[in-house]
A = this chain, B = another copy of it.
Amino acid sequence: MNTIFIIGVGLIGGSFALDIKKIYPESAIYGIDNREAHLNEAIKLGIIDQKAVLKDVANADLVIVAVPVDATLSVLPDVLDNVSDQTIVFDAGSTKEDICLTVKQHPKRRNFLAAHPIAGTEFSGPGAAICGLFNNKTNIICEVEDTAFKLQEKALKLFSELGMRIRYMNPKAHDKHIAYVSHLSHISSFMLGKTVIEKEKNERDIFDMAGSGFESTVRLAKSSPAMWAPIFEQNKSNVIETLEEYINNLKDFKKLMENEDFEAVYKEMQATNHIADILNGIQ
């Protein structure tokens, strides 16, 4: 791992760069980004060593594509057009079906590993990059059999050095399940924020009353629309399905309250407390 290119020097790309520099201090890390200001900031923060352009990836050992998933659809084939046979390219997108499809027939398909590191914060840009972001996190790899064995090995060695656990999944299953445990959370949080902000127009004092519970549930509403709108677009049908179920559950809960059936309200909550055991399983 001598020559590494990070395409998209934001939260995810930048965090990869910081960890890789620690593990391979001798490596040269190049940044590619359509925002010149982000590249300059990434250099200033010591995230990348220097700027580069797409055709430079010919010399890469590793290329990480960490741009919004709509941009990945156009950037990834261009990257593959330019890499050598020894280069491993992986992405970090929160959708996998469209991305895998877009390079399915690419002559360099075997240089690509479709990855989704389940890691991040609600912040974005180079300033949001942090060391150790991927430690103890899950990395979902799709269509592993379509990546050249020696190149897989290279990427898996890096993931292991970063402290990630690997799960293999097909792109369809990935997109379906991630809609529940990630995409829906973001919408529930955004709409919670919206509902409360709409109220605040008239009632400025309201936020003095907000505590850590509100803060925790609304945290994801700080997330980047540039990252999330394309995710919802690519995973539209799954996300709509989860939203449907979520809305129905909320309506049922409201109905129980309207019927003053607070014993049932109690039972609903008690049954869902089980989430604590599940979350303990995650950590």
| Chain copies in complex | 2
A282 CA to B218 CA, complexed, in Å: 13
Residue interface bits A230-271, CB-to-B below 8 A is 1, else 0? 101100100110111111011101100110101101111111
- Asked if A207 is at the interface of the complex by the 8 Å CB criterion, the answer is yes
Whether B272 lies near A194 (C-beta < 8 A) is: yes
* Contacts known (A223-B269, A247-B254); A188 close to B205, Cβ less than 8 A: no
Report the stretch among A39-47, A103-111, A208-216 that lies at the interface. Answer: A208-216
* Chain B CB within 10 Å, residue with most, of A174, A187, A223, A269: A269
Choose from B138, B180, B266, B282 the contact partner of A195 (Cβ within 8 Å): B180
Minimal Cβ-Cβ distance residue in B for A70? B262
Give A209 to B116 CA distance when docked, in angstroms.
10
Q: Which of B211, B222, B250, B270 contacts A191 (CB 8 A)?
A: B250
Extra 17 A-B pairs, beta carbons < 8 Å, given A180-B206, A181-B214, A182-B209: A140-B209, A177-B203, A182-B213, A184-B196, A185-B218, A187-B250, A188-B188, A188-B217, A190-B268, A193-B275, A195-B246, A217-B219, A219-B279, A225-B269, A228-B269, A243-B250, A247-B250
**Distance of A137 Cα from B211 Cα, bound (Å):** 8
**Chain A residues with a Cβ closer than 8 Å to the other chain, count:** 95
- Complex CA gap A278/B192 in Å reads 13
Interchain CA distance A281-B218 in the complex, whole Å: 14
Type the 1/0 row for A80-100, where 1 means its CB is closer than 8 Å to any CB of B: 000000000000000000000
Contact partners of A205 in chain B: CB under 8 A: 167, 169, 177
Q: Taking the complex as formed, is A147 at the interface, i.e. its CB lies under 8 A from any CB of chain B? A: no
A-B contact list, 18 entries, CB within 8 Å: A119-B211, A181-B206, A184-B192, A184-B195, A191-B253, A194-B249, A194-B271, A195-B249, A197-B274, A207-B281, A207-B282, A222-B275, A225-B265, A225-B269, A233-B260, A233-B262, A239-B257, A250-B250
A220 within 8 Å of B (CB atoms):
yes
Q: Are A217 and B214 in contact (CB under 8 A)?
A: no
